[in-house]
Amino acid sequence: MTAVPEYFGSLVFDDRQMKARLSNEVYNSLKKTIDEGSRLDPSVASAVAQAMKDWAVSLGATHFTHWFQPLTGITAEKHDSFIAPAPDGGIIMEFSGKELIKGEPDASSFPSGGLRATFEARGYTAWDPTSYAFIKDKTLCIPTAFCSYSGEALDKKTPLLRSMEALNRQALRILRLFGADGVKCVRSSVGPEQEYFLVDKQLYLRRPDLIYTGRTLFGAKPPKGQEMSDHYFGVIRPRVQAYMKELNEELWKLGILAKTEHNEVAPAQHELAPIFTTTNIAADHNQLTMEIMQKLAEKHGLVCLLHEKPFAGVNGSGRHNNWSIATDTGVNLLSPGDTPHENAQFLLFLCAVIQAVDEYQALLRCAVATAGNDHRLGANEAPPAVVSIFLGDELTAILDSIENGTPYSSAEKSSMKLGVHVLPRFQRDTTDRNRTSPFAFTGNKFEFRMLGSSNSISCANIMLNAAVADVLEKYADELEGSSDFDASLHELIKRSISEHKRIIFNGNGYDDAWIKEATEVRGLLNLRSTADAMPALLEEKNRSMLMHHRIFSESEIRSRYEIMLDNYCKTIVIEARTMSDMASRDILPAIEAYAADLAAAVSAKQSIMPDLPCTYEKSRIRKLSMLVDQIDDAVRVLEDALISLGLVSDVTTQANMIRDEILPDMNLLRAPVDEAETLTAAKYWPFPTYGELLFGV
């Protein structure tokens, strides 16, 4: 068996390959671009392309592709072979610097929010040298940005890279004030934890709702769910363990730092967590992880569900975005150190994050807004839709002492004594963890817990990077003009705490009293749905900030508003149509067939024993008949609502209609169907049940 260190990154054109295959001059130039964010020297492209091609061909690659992330939320690729005709009738394998740097996909066939018309087809992909190329399915994949002919970003990578540059610029200004002249670059880094469900493929194929929408639109609660807490961190079943083993191997070959695997809370739910890496690379890796998770599941006779809420009544799936910022010299700027109350640099960056989350809470909510995530946020499994920050007792006490001008007495770590001599003693942390917080400080990073399991992490990190960069710019402007840096720094930290402490909450985020306090007393936003959240993207304050830092242009902001709301609307419409189809074509006939057989049984029994009451059959027939009428009425109401929705062209109006009419109508249809499932004999019910799906692996 090959050891992991021997094959880790074997399918990646990483620093090891570049150092071995490039000249010192080319290697040093490319490394300067990667490490310091300096401009790419086009003259190195041909040498890199030749080395990259030779390496890929040696591993069996026959094609290359510019791998990019359009606004569909998934990745895209168009494959071209390395072959070129030779004079003797044979072929040679070629790959030029021009082909490495630039590609030309069709820009009008991807979502553009009005940036591209159908007849305006030209678009460009541009090599991102900061993210390593890799081989997938015998194809050299080159991570790229994607833009239109007129230069607008049509992808998620370009604004993410812009946000990272903005954060770098402003963080360097702050660090210069603290005398950190040796720092050349500041990067945000992310470790995105990925939750998912595994179900049996044969059962999946008998559920049209799972096939078309990724979630179950009907399903009665099974006798057992997650109430016993026996799945969380439980023994991993052999079939799942075999899947996880191969998943790790494939991810490690691609240089993806898959670290942790375990059963999650809900039956059939699991989690994979990687080690931190630079944000744009983490985003690339997470897209690859989701693709490989789904591909490998089929190989094992399973289906990987990445929807945020595939099953009602049990926990849904999120993605915890562990975010931090660090220098190229290895200093984590969010690490408190042993004496955080004396660490002014840490306190300033901490305040910048707190202020950014408070001032741009609506943008952070927008960044995680999807139809799927709307089902999850606010349930007792995920953070509420109200954004708040958990700091813990120690940091909260430090900030309170600064604001109030009182001495801070550092909390001493106590030793954990478990009452058994053979068990080791260890130091207890000064602060507990809070799993109900949307944005929790966890030692040297913030865990943004609101992201949905199927959404690209780029969206949230774009907004987070941009918001923090904006606050750091304000800080730098103020401090650079000060004649007394220490006094101004202290006053700035104190003022920021006072003005933005409303966003700090260390209690139970699931408590209804907190939601009331947050909205009515503290003035925080409670944007419950995507339709509620997305208008914030167009608010003047938010647009101005994003344009000022060159994250988005005006047209790019408006295009994303249109695309995200349009996606929300189309997702719900597909779900509603699927519900109507399943109810009309499968569920109603199944209930009717069972009721008819019950009626036939009554007739047969009473033909022999006329006085036999047949109480069970008649009672069941009456209940089912009433439910059939309710289901039929609900289908008609839903179909009429869909017709009305189709007459509306404005996407904002559509989204509001979906929130206010379509979704309630869908709930009204689901209720009688789920009740009918509990009353219909198993052999008549046309679809696998929740019990079969959740416990069938």
What would the two tokens of residue 191 be?
């470790």
| Residue listed under structure tokens 């109480």 | 615
What would the two tokens of residue 235 be?
């023994």
Q: What percent of the chain has pLDDT over 70?
A: 95
- CA 22, CA 29: separation in Å to the nearest integer? 10
The model's pTM is 0.94
- CA 349, CA 119: separation in Å to the nearest integer? 47
The dotted CATH code for 568-694 is: 1.20.120.1560
294-305 average pLDDT score: 97
Does the structure show a pLDDT above 80 at 431? no
Does the structure show a pLDDT above 90 at 91? no
- Closest by Cα among 528, 518, 525, 502 to 656: 528
- CA 37, CA 40: separation in Å to the nearest integer? 9
**Measured CA distances, 147 to 152, 455, 466 (Å):** 5, 21, 20
Least confident of 328-337, 375-384, 557-566, 660-669: 375-384
268: left (phi over 0), alpha (psi -120 to 50) or beta: left
Do residues 176 and 99 lie in contact, with contact meaning Cβ atoms separated by under 8 Å? no
Does the structure show a pLDDT above 70 at 428? no
DSSP annotation of 130: T
- CA 377, CA 395: separation in Å to the nearest integer? 27
Least confident of 89-93, 111-115, 175-179, 611-615: 111-115
DSSP annotation of 518: I
Q: How many CA atoms lie within 13 A of 642 on its CB side?
A: 20
Query: Please, what is the average pLDDT of the chain?
Result: 92
373-378 average pLDDT score: 89
**DSSP string for 135-178:** EETTEEEEEEEEEETTS-B-BSHHHHHHHHHHHHHHHHHHHHHT
Torsion of CA 342, 347, 349, 352, to 10 degrees: -160
Least confident of 101-105, 197-201, 289-293, 654-658: 101-105
- CA 691, CA 678: separation in Å to the nearest integer? 12
DSSP annotation of 39: P
Instruction: State which CATH number among 3.20.20.80, 3.10.20.70, 1.10.240.10, 1.20.120.80 fits the domain covering 4-155.
Output: 3.10.20.70
Q: How confident is the model at residue 459 (pLDDT cuts 50, 70, 90)?
A: very high
Contact residues for 154 (Cβ-Cβ < 8 A; gap 6+): 70, 71, 107, 110, 112, 115, 116, 123, 146, 147, 148
What would the two tokens of residue 169 be?
């610029």
674-683 average pLDDT score: 97
- CA 47, CA 33: separation in Å to the nearest integer? 15
657-663 average pLDDT score: 97
**Measured CA distances, 216 to 64, 164, 300 (Å):** 38, 38, 22
* 581 compared with 151, residue with greater pLDDT: 581
Does the structure show a pLDDT above 60 at 392? yes
Partner residues linked to 102 by β-bridges? 126
Q: What percent of the chain has pLDDT over 90?
A: 78
Q: How confident is the model at residue 289 (pLDDT cuts 50, 70, 90)?
A: very high
For residue range 247-260, list pLDDT tens digits in order. Answer: 999 999 999 999 99
pLDDT attached to residue 418: 59
Does the structure show a pLDDT above 90 at 61? yes
For residue range 131-181, list pLDDT tens digits in order. Answer: 999 999 999 999 999 998 888 999 999 999 999 999 999 999 999 999 999
57-61 average pLDDT score: 96
Range 74-101 burial, b when 16+ CB lie within 10 A, else e = ebbbeeeebeeeeeeeeeeeebebebbb
- CA 388, CA 437: separation in Å to the nearest integer? 7
Q: Please count the other Cβ atoms lying within 10 Å of the Cβ belonging to residue 538.
A: 14
For residue range 512-562, list pLDDT tens digits in order. Answer: 899 999 999 999 999 999 999 999 999 999 999 999 999 999 999 999 999
Contact residues for 399 (Cβ-Cβ < 8 A; gap 6+): 391, 497, 501, 504
Does the structure show a pLDDT above 60 at 41? yes
Does the structure show a pLDDT above 90 at 665? yes
The dotted CATH code for 163-410+427-552 is: 3.30.590.10
Chain Cα centroid distance, residue 418: 38
Q: Taking the CA atoms of 352, 354, 357 and 359 in sequence, report the sign of the dihedral they define.
A: negative
Q: Taking the CA atoms of 323, 328, 332 and 333 in sequence, report the sign of the dihedral they define.
A: negative
Do residues 216 and 691 lie in contact, with contact meaning Cβ atoms separated by under 8 Å? no
User: Three-state DSSP class for 230?
Assistant: coil
- Closest by Cα among 509, 233, 528 to 382: 509
- CA 474, CA 492: separation in Å to the nearest integer? 10
* 433 compared with 311, residue with greater pLDDT: 311
Do residues 337 and 343 lie in contact, with contact meaning Cβ atoms separated by under 8 Å? yes
pLDDT attached to residue 413: 57
pLDDT attached to residue 408: 78
State the DSSP H helix or E strand holding residue 545, giving kind and residue range, or none if neither. Answer: helix 540-548
Do residues 309 and 447 lie in contact, with contact meaning Cβ atoms separated by under 8 Å? no
Contact residues for 341 (Cβ-Cβ < 8 A; gap 6+): 347, 398, 401, 408, 410
Does the structure show a pLDDT above 70 at 363? yes
pLDDT attached to residue 33: 85
Does the structure show a pLDDT above 80 at 483? yes
Contact residues for 230 (Cβ-Cβ < 8 A; gap 6+): none
- CA 325, CA 589: separation in Å to the nearest integer? 58
Listed by start position, the domains of the chain span 4-155, 163-410+427-552, 568-694
Does the structure show a pLDDT above 80 at 420? no
| Residue listed under structure tokens 């490039």 | 22
Q: Please count the other Cβ atoms lying within 10 Å of the Cβ belonging to residue 192.
A: 27
Do residues 142 and 67 lie in contact, with contact meaning Cβ atoms separated by under 8 Å? yes
- CA 621, CA 615: separation in Å to the nearest integer? 10
- CA 671, CA 134: separation in Å to the nearest integer? 48
